[in-house]
Amino acid sequence: MKLKSTILFIALLITAATIAQNTITGIITDTTEAPLSFANIILYEVGKEKAVTGVISNEIGTYFFENIANGNYVIEVSVLGFETKKSDEFQLPQSKLIVDFILNEEAQNLDEVVVKSRRPQFKQTAEKLIVDLENSDMVNTNLQDVVKKVPGIIMTNGNVSYAGQGNIRILINGKTTDYMDTASLLRDLPADNISKVELIQQPGSEYDAEGSGPILNIILKKNIRLGTHGNVKQMVGYENRFEYATSASIASYKNKLNWQLSTGYQKSTSRDDLTLSRKVLDDTYKQISKSAFDPRIFNVGAGIDYYLSDKHTIGINGRLINNDSDRVSNNNTTISNATSNISLFTDNSFDRNRNIKSLNPYYEFKDDKSKLVLDYNYVDYTYDNENNLYQVGTSTQSFNNRRYFQDASYKINTYKTDYKRTVNDNFSWDAGVKFSDVKSDSDLQSLTEDDEGVFQFRPAESNRFLVNETILALYSKMNVKVDKWTFSGGLRWEESDTQGTATTTGETRTRKISKLFPSASISRKITNEISANLAYSYRIQRPSYSSLNSFVYFYDPFTFEEGNPNLKPSFTNSYQFNLTFDNQPFFNINYRETSDQLFEIITQNDVSAETSRTMINLAENKNWSFSFFAPLDFIEGIDGYFGVQANHNAYNSENLEPKLNLSKWSITGFAGAEYELPWEINSEVSTYYTSGGLEGIIEYDWLAGIDIAFSKSFLDDKLKVSLEFEELIQRPFNGVVKYDNVNATIVSNWARNNVFLQLNYSFGSKFGKNNKRENSSKDEQNRIKQDN
């Protein structure tokens, strides 16, 4: 009996020790001792990969684990923008364990300058301006709203420009998107998925050399929550007419497997009206086109990531996008002179359907010093378009109805390998290789209605244009930091081989380019308040695939756009100087010089009275810009910025007849502000004014815009309601063209006074695990340009 009692006593002691409960607490701060809220704190039991539990730090950076059983554990802390950190192994029981963490900011480049001592909203480097949105309670509903937060970015009717440069490339996580037109991307991408926006004014060698303007890189949130979570969104709005959108997503992270599913449907509405008045000899042509369209977009995406171990990850992502857009433009052309007045009424109908399929498998290796990514991207893009231009109503001008079938397909295969080695805190280097293979098939069939109402095929106006292009690229880059100096230098080599064949004529054009593209930046802290940096890059802009074919797009009976198979690439030398004051971006000078500039020109045939728009190569383009930027912190309760930008654009060509010389200064002012109203309602205002400028051969007058938005959260922040008012200023685009025999005025207008209401409901787990996966880039999709 005594033996049994002893055994029972020992068992009770063991059981008590096993089920003993412990408390772990601590505080998460950055290197300036500022608390980091919403950090992810994950508790792991040693020898087991599965997390025991996870919490999020509160507003003062504190966290608590309660009722933790005895055992050996480690804690991992992560928050976007900072390096992930693990504790030393510790053993429980302990009466009350305190484990504090100090996190260092995660530097993408060693030349990065932190703009604020606390976690910044803005950062400035020699290469880019970073807008950090991770912890802000954004009112925005989509990417278009977020882009307006970038100082100096001007948006008009879905077009993005910066410092007089309209050829801005948009990347998602460093890669081009599955969207083939900017307007759809801006409308479709939800703002709540966006962590940062990078305005890369001087791209380094790790980016494709493609493009002459800046890059807008949208970085999505990398935080992957443990467990299962998702959201459901519903948007209704009025943009010329009623529109709506609905979407849902769900994701799960359990053990080694992470998966995501998303789908959405959007019925948008828009308007694009154009009034063109021009002189043709003694006649005056006034052409009015009113075009309303309703694109319908359906998308579905899925992804799986499998963590083979702490260092090895494989995954695959896929997406399907369908964009169906029907449009009917009502055209009214009046031809008048001193003795007559003739009218022609036509309708121009477009039935456009686009399908995009993409697949992206990858492998990633990552440890404390090295990171290797193997990435493959496949994109299958098809474009079907039937365009009918036909006479309606009572016209005093004869016209033969026309029909065009314009179909295109693009298949893009991209293979990319990137390697990064961090030797120490002061030195790192990158290297990579990329190969892309693009095949495009563009088929134009032109038909004209005869006297019997039958459409007859016109071989002379039809063409099938095939483009095969391969691009091989190698790059290397190093980052060095010595005392107050920071240097970044890279070299990229690209070899492209392009063959374009017109099947109707059998003519094949071949273009081979092999070239080195250097880039470099240097920064120095001059005083405690002032820092300076200088950057340089050399880049190429290849013609878009659609501009190389011989398609003809009619806007009305007398106005059309056509391709140019003779286009050559342009090359740009870009220089930039930045000053920061008190660790904030303050002053910027940028100079770009482009040879063989791709330039859209307008010409007029005085016999047929037709006006055409086409892309050509100019001799050169020179662009100067001067920017001043400052925060609005001096106004109590206001968080935001304001700035002024002066820009000078000059275009010159000695090869045209007559010679073309255009130049113009423009001044742009911009501001964005956030303010918390009563009842915890967040409000935002963004506005801009520009004195005018040059858009190709068009010299345009002043433009201005203002957007206002409000948002409030309910149900413990699970439900967010946003209300946004866009384009509150009724000011259309007013332009003038005076070149050779063209004397025209242009008025372009779009939907104004738009309103959008969005409901966003989030569900599921509330703590997460940081995922360091970053997508590679593939640039060729940017060169497929199609509008709605």
pLDDT tens per residue across span 408-435: 899 999 999 999 998 988 899 999 999 9
pLDDT of 652-681, one tens digit each? 988 888 888 999 999 999 988 888 899 989
List of E strands, 255-396 = 257-267, 270-280, 283-293, 296-307, 312-336, 341-366, 370-391
Give Cβ neighbours of residue 243 (< 8 Å, ≥ 6 apart).
236, 237, 266, 267, 268, 269, 294
Predicted TM-score of the model (pTM)? 0.77
The values of phi and psi at residue 360, to 5°, are: -140, 85
Cα–Cα distance measured from residue 54 to residue 51, given in angstroms and rounded to the nearest whole number? 7
CA of residue 382 relative to chain centroid, distance: 22
Question: Which residues are registered as beta bridge partners of 152?
Answer: none
Numbers of helices and strands, H then E, in the chain: 4, 53
pLDDT of 156-196, one tens digit each? 766 777 776 777 888 877 776 655 556 666 766 666 667 78
CB-based contact 257:771 (threshold 8 Å): no
For the chain, which domains are there? 2-103 (2.60.40.10), 123-783 (2.40.170.20)
CB-based contact 152:160 (threshold 8 Å): no
Question: Residue range 684-693: average pLDDT?
Answer: 90
Cα–Cα distance measured from residue 169 to residue 663, given in angstroms and rounded to the nearest whole number? 24
The two beta strands, 101-103 and 21-30, are parallel
Label residue 64 by pLDDT band (50, 70, 90). confident
Residue 328's identity, in one-letter code, is: V
DSSP state, residue 636: T
DSSP state, residue 396: S
Question: Residue range 585-595: average pLDDT?
Answer: 91
pLDDT of 312-328, one tens digit each? 999 999 989 898 988 88
pLDDT of 691-739, one tens digit each? 998 888 999 999 998 999 898 989 888 898 989 998 898 889 999 999 9
In order of 211, 317, 641, the CA distances from 574 in angstroms are 11, 35, 26
In order of 106, 123, 210, the CA distances from 118 in angstroms are 14, 12, 36
Angle among Cα 344, 345, 351 to the nearest 5 degrees reads 135
The two beta strands, 530-541 and 507-525, are antiparallel
Quote the pLDDT of residue 782: 54
Query: What mean pLDDT is reported for the chain?
Result: 83
Residue 345's identity, in one-letter code, is: F
Question: Residue range 484-506: average pLDDT?
Answer: 89
Quote the pLDDT of residue 270: 82
CA of residue 238 relative to chain centroid, distance: 24
Residue 544's identity, in one-letter code, is: S
Q: For CA atoms 140, 143, 145, 148, give the dihedral sign.
A: positive
SS3 533: strand
Give Cβ neighbours of residue 554 (< 8 Å, ≥ 6 apart).
348, 387, 389, 402, 404, 560
CB-based contact 707:688 (threshold 8 Å): no
**How many CB atoms lie under 10 A from the CB of residue 659?**
10
How far from each other are the two terminal CA atoms of the chain, in whole angstroms? 89
Stronger pLDDT, 8 or 443, i.e. the higher one: 443
In order of 73, 530, 585, the CA distances from 120 in angstroms are 33, 17, 12
Query: Looking at 29-33, 86-90, 564-568, which range is the least confident one?
Result: 29-33
| 112 pLDDT higher than 50 | no
Element (DSSP H or E) covering residue 462: none
| 134 pLDDT higher than 70 | no
Percent of the chain with pLDDT over 70: 86
Quote the pLDDT of residue 154: 78
CA of residue 429 relative to chain centroid, distance: 26
